[in-house]
Amino acid sequence: MAISTADFKNGMCIEYNGKLWTIIEFQHVKPGKGGAFVRTKLRDVRTGRVVDNTFNAGTKFDSVRMETRKMQYLYNDGSDYNFMDNDTYEQLALSADIVGDVAKWLKENDEVSLQYAGEELIGLEPAMFVELEVAETEPGFKGDTVQGSTKPATMETGAVVNVPMYVEVGDILQIDTRDGRFVKRM
């Protein structure tokens, strides 16, 4: 579907120079002299790189439909990560390259959001908060209660998170997947 600069909305996805871009922000500018133009901030859907771009008013683009599909993470078979659509029970296997860093937050049966631009998978997003068990960490010492002091802990998925000194192996922790920060002990 073709759209023009007059149809721009924040979050919209467009195709420009053979790449997919999401519009972060835009501003219509009508100077005293010359034609009107649109100043934009665009994010490359694949790389996440943000660029500033200016277009003449009325420039046409192809709009790309963005869609998020919720799927359940089933298991890793050694080479692929397997997911299932809870509505259709259709299964999807994704390579470790596609899953990337999200893998450290995946636990069997967790729900994951898969982002599509048209029919192309462009990214995965784990739940904002996950509950993981501490697999390995240094023991805390009695009297070691310095406010704000932390130690690294390896979670059951392999993720390393800085945690308070009182956390022990076997504890279940809530972790914020956006920045890998400890939230609370469950």
| Residue 49, pLDDT score | 85
φ, ψ at 2 (rounded to 5°): -85, 135
Query: What's the total number of domains in the chain?
Result: 3
pTM of the model: 0.67
CATH number, domain with residue 156: 2.40.50.140
User: Domain check: are 119 and 133 in the same one?
Assistant: no
**Helix extents (H) in 35-174:** 96-99
User: Domain check: are 114 and 153 in the same one?
Assistant: no
User: Domain check: are 50 and 71 in the same one?
Assistant: no
User: Domain check: are 6 and 53 in the same one?
Assistant: yes
| Residue 150, pLDDT score | 84
Q: What is the mean pLDDT of residues 66-75?
A: 89
Tokens of 13: 């996805």
Is the pLDDT reported for residue 148 higher than 80? no
Is the pLDDT reported for residue 78 higher than 80? yes
Instruction: Domain of residue 8: give its range.
Output: 2-64
CATH number, domain with residue 21: 2.30.30.30
